[in-house]
Amino acid sequence: MGERWISSERRLGKHTVDGYLGRLLVVDLTAGRVAEEELNSEYARRFIGGSGLAARYTYDMIDADTDPLGPENPLIFMTGPLVGTQAPSCSRYVICARSPHTGLWGESNVGGFMGPQLRFAGYDGIVIKGRADEPVYLFVHDGEAELRDASQLWGLDTYGTQQAIRDELGERSVRAACIGPGGENLVKYAAVISDQGRAAGRSGMGAVMGSKKLKAVVCRGKGSVPLADKGAFETTAGEILALLKDDVSTQVLNQTGTSGSANMLSLSGNMPNRYFMAGEFDEVDNISGSTMAETIQVGTSGCFGCVVQCGRQVQITEGPYQLEETDGPEYETVSALGSLLLIDDLKAVSYLNYLCNALGLDTVSMGVTLGLAHYLYDEGILSSRDTDGLVLRWGDAEPVMRLIEMTGRREGFGDLLAEGNLSLARRFGVEDLAAQVHGLEIAMHDPRASAGVTLSYLTSPRGACHNKSDAYWLDMGRSLDDLGIGFTDRFEEEGKAALMVRHQDWRSAGDTLVSCLLVYPPSEALVAMLAAATGWGFTISDLLQVGERILNLKRALNIRWDWNPEHEKLPSLFMQPLTEGGTAGYVPDVEKLLTDYYQARAWDRKTGKPTREKLLELGLDEVAADLY
């Protein structure tokens, strides 16, 4: 393959907006061309960064017929103005495209060091179009970019790919976001893995990369981020850092990781097990974060500029699940590949997590799809004739290991599992048993455990997503007083929608920065850092409006695609109350919650569209013109 180098400095010169490098890399894989584009400063001001800015660019590039796995689906890697700075826990990045799993807006937010390296290499984001004839990877460094042959990498798992790229380039410091066999084989929920085992898991961005024959995006840079007021920025960042260091949540997350919450979630009847048939997991102690810390954990890890270090490093030296030191499972995985399948062996769960990371599969979608397979097997709807001879028993990790491998490679029954939970349910005529909303598998927070979580699943742009509002925390007792979000009981439905709307707007704004949802700096301080970075005089209200603007834009994108008001519901599976545990007896009143939500959003309940007035109020004139 010929070399295709460009020099960004020669083309565009200095940045034009403080807080930004002012450049996007635009890659046309079909033509084998790499070029630069000046960042649209008006878009940056209105959508800031992250998935908001990516959604605005996407809006210009897609139409109703854009095939998620076709060359015309743009794949966007995007950072934000705080990425690569001293802003604590704000150095994540997002990968966005139309999702092949849902047909709707797809995005996945991931930590590590990849986002900062992209910025240090001179770019705010990368827009990737087309499809290569042969496997390639993109190498970006210090204002230059090159497409390189990846045929020798095709077929390698994600750990092997990252190592091979480091070896080929002879640089230990490069960061690679790559796909494994899952992405190559277009598993609908294939993940993109970077920084060893950090997964951009949800909504199938790995499959989009695979469809483009793009094995990896690799970054390394030595540059820095231009700030409008460096002194003010460093002062505010330092104050936030001091607060976070003293925060008890920081210490708990550092000591036990996200799976440290498993005991509390189980106690409240909110740790799904036996495929959502129960919410209290009797064996939770066996797979909790504190047990991990006491047994197989050998260290912690974290993202650029974060004091929390919530990542786990585990090692298993004996028995059937031996692992060299590698990333340990976080809460969602401990539940999806553990309690949901009644597997209470932490070593087994860690090994299943490793397998998903190596193959490049989203652990939540994989676990929920396997959960349905186990349930159907238990009910006699599925037999070993369907599973290539494998016998599925609750709590037995051996066939699960095999099924994950078969899914990543689309072998036998794995080819059906690779299509996800809803496809599996449809194949056996039990669509009501699919645990999903808009095609995305429900995460490890039971909607019957919280009215807020129910609304989050129903209204998130990417389907049943728990990350577009932290309702699972808010409804459990956290209040955000500086945002006017007070605590309401988790089963209280009156007034819930208005609080959810406000919190979704704030979370949507946080996604633009790109901040971590596990860390809560004071809202004023976050706004002050954005102001010091960009010179923009934002207030909390301004930032909330940016978040709202983005959610309206994403809704408009979904309306253009396959969004269907009929699908905005909880599956029948969740309309039966649990009979035991802290969640017993509650079934959310979906109709009331949605009616209140649509009213609070000024969206039309019948069509799902934002009203024309709302779009104009948010400055989305172009969207209003398209929708009306």
Peptide bond into 514 cis (omega under 30): yes
Taking CB under 6 A as the criterion, the residue among 111, 329, 360, 571 binding ligand SF4 is 111
> Quick one: 467 or 523, whose CB is closer to ligand SF4?
467
Binding positions for ligand SF4, 485-524, rule CB under 6 A: 516, 518-519
Exposure on the CB side of residue 606, measured as CA atoms within 13 A: 0
| Candidates 72-80, 139-147, 164-172, 300-308; binding stretch for ligand SF4 (CB under 6 A) | 300-308
Rounded-to-integer distance, Cα 273 and Cα 144, Å: 49
> Quick one: 92 or 448, whose CB is closer to ligand SF4?
92
Closest approach, Cβ 444 to ligand SF4, in A, equals 16
Rounded-to-integer distance, Cα 139 and Cα 151, Å: 15
Asked if residue 313 binds ligand SF4 (CB under 6 A), the reply is no
- Residue 280: closest CA among 296, 297, 268: 268
| Sign of CA pseudo-dihedral 483, 486, 491, 493 | negative
Asked if residue 255 binds ligand SF4 (CB under 6 A), the reply is no
> Quick one: 303 or 623, whose CB is closer to ligand SF4?
303
| Candidates 28-36, 304-312, 398-406, 462-470; binding stretch for ligand SF4 (CB under 6 A) | 304-312
Strands 136-141 and 214-220: parallel
Asked if residue 308 binds ligand SF4 (CB under 6 A), the reply is yes
Is the separation of the CB atoms in 137 and 150 below 8 Å?
Answer: yes
Burial of 601 (0-12, 13-18, 19+ CB in 10 A): buried
Question: What is the 8-class DSSP label of residue 589?
Answer: -
| # chain residues binding ligand SF4, by CB under 6 A | 12
Query: Which residue is associated with the tokens 């006699």?
Result: 380
| Candidates 185-193, 299-307, 331-339, 574-582; binding stretch for ligand SF4 (CB under 6 A) | 299-307
| Candidates 14-22, 30-38, 306-314, 399-407; binding stretch for ligand SF4 (CB under 6 A) | 306-314
> Quick one: 497 or 509, whose CB is closer to ligand SF4?
509
> Quick one: 62 or 444, whose CB is closer to ligand SF4?
444
| Candidates 10-18, 227-235, 308-316, 421-429; binding stretch for ligand SF4 (CB under 6 A) | 308-316
Binding positions for ligand SF4, 83-102, rule CB under 6 A: 89
Asked if residue 69 binds ligand SF4 (CB under 6 A), the reply is no
Closest approach, Cβ 303 to ligand SF4, in A, equals 3
Query: Which residue is associated with the tokens 């809560």?
Result: 520
| Candidates 41-49, 132-140, 309-317, 540-548; binding stretch for ligand SF4 (CB under 6 A) | 309-317
Closest approach, Cβ 533 to ligand SF4, in A, equals 18
Strands 214-220 and 105-110: unpaired
> Quick one: 247 or 378, whose CB is closer to ligand SF4?
247
The number of angstroms, rounded, from the C-alpha of 468 to the middle of its chain's C-alpha atoms is 10
Phi, psi (degrees; rounded to nearest 5) at 365: -60, -40
Closest approach, Cβ 111 to ligand SF4, in A, equals 4
Strands 93-98 and 105-110: antiparallel
Closest approach, Cβ 308 to ligand SF4, in A, equals 4
Asked if residue 254 binds ligand SF4 (CB under 6 A), the reply is no
Taking CB under 6 A as the criterion, the residue among 209, 310, 559, 594 binding ligand SF4 is 310
Closest approach, Cβ 91 to ligand SF4, in A, equals 7
Closest approach, Cβ 482 to ligand SF4, in A, equals 20
Closest approach, Cβ 309 to ligand SF4, in A, equals 5
Closest approach, Cβ 301 to ligand SF4, in A, equals 7
Asked if residue 306 binds ligand SF4 (CB under 6 A), the reply is yes
Is the separation of the CB atoms in 446 and 269 below 8 Å?
Answer: yes
Is the separation of the CB atoms in 361 and 190 below 8 Å?
Answer: yes
User: For residue 112, how many other CB atoms are within 10 A of its CB?
Assistant: 25
Closest approach, Cβ 261 to ligand SF4, in A, equals 13
Rounded-to-integer distance, Cα 365 and Cα 349, Å: 15
Closest approach, Cβ 508 to ligand SF4, in A, equals 17
Question: What is the 8-class DSSP label of residue 277?
Answer: T
The number of angstroms, rounded, from the C-alpha of 328 to the middle of its chain's C-alpha atoms is 18
Asked if residue 311 binds ligand SF4 (CB under 6 A), the reply is yes
Closest approach, Cβ 112 to ligand SF4, in A, equals 8
Closest approach, Cβ 117 to ligand SF4, in A, equals 15
> Quick one: 122 or 305, whose CB is closer to ligand SF4?
305
Q: Which residues contact 447 (CB under 8 A, 6 or more apart)?
A: 453, 454, 457, 570, 574, 588
- Residue 574: what residue type? F
| Sign of CA pseudo-dihedral 272, 275, 277, 281 | negative
> Quick one: 306 or 382, whose CB is closer to ligand SF4?
306
Q: Which 3-state string (H, E, C) describes 234-255?
A: HHHHHHHHHHHHHCHHHHHHHH
- Residue 364: closest CA among 312, 436, 292: 436
User: For residue 324, how many other CB atoms are within 10 A of its CB?
Assistant: 10
> Quick one: 19 or 311, whose CB is closer to ligand SF4?
311
Rounded-to-integer distance, Cα 233 and Cα 408, Å: 45
Taking CB under 6 A as the criterion, the residue among 66, 235, 309, 488 binding ligand SF4 is 309
Name the token pair of 46: 């209105």
Rounded-to-integer distance, Cα 462 and Cα 177, Å: 21
Taking CB under 6 A as the criterion, the residue among 104, 303, 348, 500 binding ligand SF4 is 303
Residue numbers of the site for ligand SF4 (CB under 6 A)? 89, 111, 302-303, 306, 308-311, 516, 518-519
